[in-house]
Structure 1
């Protein structure tokens, strides 16, 4: 069975950093690059057009889309299929509970769900350090993420990591342990 990792958390909780630690730990972990339609930061995204998005939607290949920071972000079926080829394990970053639910429900795989958390103060410190020019918007999203999480008290997590207190390599190792424990390859 195919496997994937869903990382959920507020801005600057460490999704990119922990994904990098996972890829260093094992080459089968691959960052999933969401399609982004809009402007701003392009690193870590596949930049696309409104026409590309419309074509994906017409074919029913959009698993999840959300609008944030004036852009559209998309998890699409063809890209997830491609990244899972050869037994690779995609690491998908999401900041909305509905996204976690939709990906898990609409794309058949064994999904390891990980909640990454940090304080709002940590987001305020990390955001400009990583080059964000819209830290105020990131802090507003932190509030939205906290409310989103509170609205889903029955959410199932295989792991919760407080990134204020846990080093990225330690978090990656804990995630890898869970993936291996649930993997038919282990």
Structure 2
């Protein structure tokens, strides 16, 4: 672990508020920035670094893939060079939907990671997905189910914070996360 590198991992089902809370964090303190995972595939490009299968192969060959997963017909990659760049700019906020991804990141990249569980009920995911115009709400509900199963399969997973995004507004969630990282930064310098 590198105590000079503080990062946030936001975990939760689709539409639990990962993007919204990240926006609130960056408004609170611009040193926070969403980590743009490498995305190999098609669809939404905002928030990602679009890549090719060749780039993924090169990262794998160099041992620079920290974690990769496939969902919605795409491959999403957390890579060491991308994290290096993100930490140079400030405190990255990594969005993940798998406990195995969190463990791979915590174990595979030297930093002080704060895992935060953002949660909302399935029906809220459905409402939010439909409300933002997603064309793949059924796939997002399947991902919600997979997230629930993932949590149930990893009862030993510990969270630095658990936030119900139906009860805590994004700005409140951002303040809680920021306070957590401030405490860690203070403890690291003490």
Q: TM-score, normalised by structure 2?
A: 0.95
SS at match of 2:9: strand
Match of 1:61 in 2: 64
Q: Give RMSD over aligned pairs.
A: 1.1
Tell whether 2:27 aligns with 1:12: no
C-alpha distance in structure 2 between counterparts of 1:92 and 1:185, whole Å = 24
C-alpha distance in structure 2 between counterparts of 1:74 and 1:161, whole Å = 25
Task: Return 5+ residue gaps in structure 1 as ranges.
Answer: none
Cα distance, 1:131 vs structure 2: 2.9
Tell whether 2:75 aligns with 1:72: yes
Q: 30, 33, 44: which is aligned to 1:30?
A: 33
C-alpha distance in structure 1 between counterparts of 2:134 and 2:39, whole Å = 17
Describe the superposition over 1:92-127 as per-residue Cα deviations: whole angstroms up to 9, x where unpaired: 000000000000000010001100000000000111
Match of 1:140 in 2: 142
Cα distance, 1:27 vs structure 2: 1.3
Task: Return 5+ residue gaps in structure 2 as ranges.
Answer: none
Match of 1:44 in 2: 47
Match of 1:159 in 2: 161
How many residue pairs align between the two structures?
Answer: 185
Q: TM-score, normalised by structure 1?
A: 0.97
Tell whether 2:122 aligns with 1:115: no
